[in-house]
Amino acid sequence: MTFKEKYGNTALVAGASEGIGAAYAHALAARGLDLILIARRKERLEAKSAQIAKQYGVKVLPVVCDLATADAMQQIINAIGDMPVDFMVYNAALSYIGAYLKTGLSTHTNIAQVNMLTPLAMLHYFGGKMAERGKGGIVLMSSIAGFQGSGYLATYAATKAFNRVLAEGLWYEWRHKGVDVIACCAGATATPNYINTNPDKASILEPKPQLPEQVVEECLRKIGTTPSFISGSGNKLVSFLMQHIFPRKKAVVTISDGMKKMYRIKE
């Protein structure tokens, strides 16, 4: 059975204009799926959509939407009408690097909206329809940052823990309804956003950043086999150390010290 035969004809990717989201769009189009691509930057999204449609000969519908808005789900419904979504990737995320109190509360609430509340709404709507049809697949992008607290990345890390635990719970609930759910816990990935933060190397333990395509291909191979996974052998090793070898306090201190060094944070 091919990927398309297993899941259906149309995939939705939220956060699709570049980086991991764009890599998902390419990978799913290469598997023959038509696409609904969601992002907030109109010109970049439309250019990416046109490129993929031409390259793979699939239909691509760009939907310009700021997923930080409270009515983002309704905007998406208005844009796509009754188009069925057979496979969904929620890749969109906001983050703030720095001391928690050095930015306003609205920064943290926007992170919560994009990273938790909007995907909750999309899972309820699109996941519910998949469960009714008895067929579908869902990827929630999480992060190894969500396996322990992380100073200077506190809100983002907490939302990524939420994503992983949510996906694991829905994997169990929907596994007998024909809907595969997986949390992809990525580490540092060479996306434009990551590169633009200009990070230093945190420690000798830090794995080399993966390419977006590596993360995506591993996820699309693993969906249907496990509720969550850590992408990349280097990230698996570091996570094993943090979760099973280091005491919890040491894990939190190690990760937080790494963030402080990586981004040259001075309090």
**Tens-place pLDDT, residues 9-47:** 999 999 999 999 999 999 999 999 999 999 999 999 999
Instruction: Give the Cα separation of 20 and 90 in Å (integer).
Output: 10
pTM of the model: 0.94
Q: What is d(CA 217, CA 203) in angstroms, rounded to the nearest whole number?
A: 27
Question: What pLDDT digit, counting tens, does each position of 211-248 carry?
Answer: 999 999 999 999 999 999 999 999 999 899 999 999 99
3-state class (DSSP) for residue 84: coil
Q: Identify the pLDDT of residue 265.
A: 85
CA distances to 92, 110, 214, 250 from 11, rounded to whole Å, are 15, 26, 19, 41
156 catalytic residue (yes or no): yes
Instruction: Quote the CA–CA distance of 156 and 94 in Å, as a whole number.
Output: 7
Catalytic residue among 100, 156, 194, 263: 156
CA torsion 6-86-186-15 (nearest 10°) is 150
Q: What is the rounded average pLDDT for all residues in the chain? A: 94
pLDDT score for 209: 86
Longest dimension (CA), the chain: 55
Half-sphere exposure of 185 (CA within 13 A, CB side): 27
Report the pLDDT value the prediction gives residue 204, as an integer from 0 to 100.
Answer: 65
Residue 88 pLDDT: 98
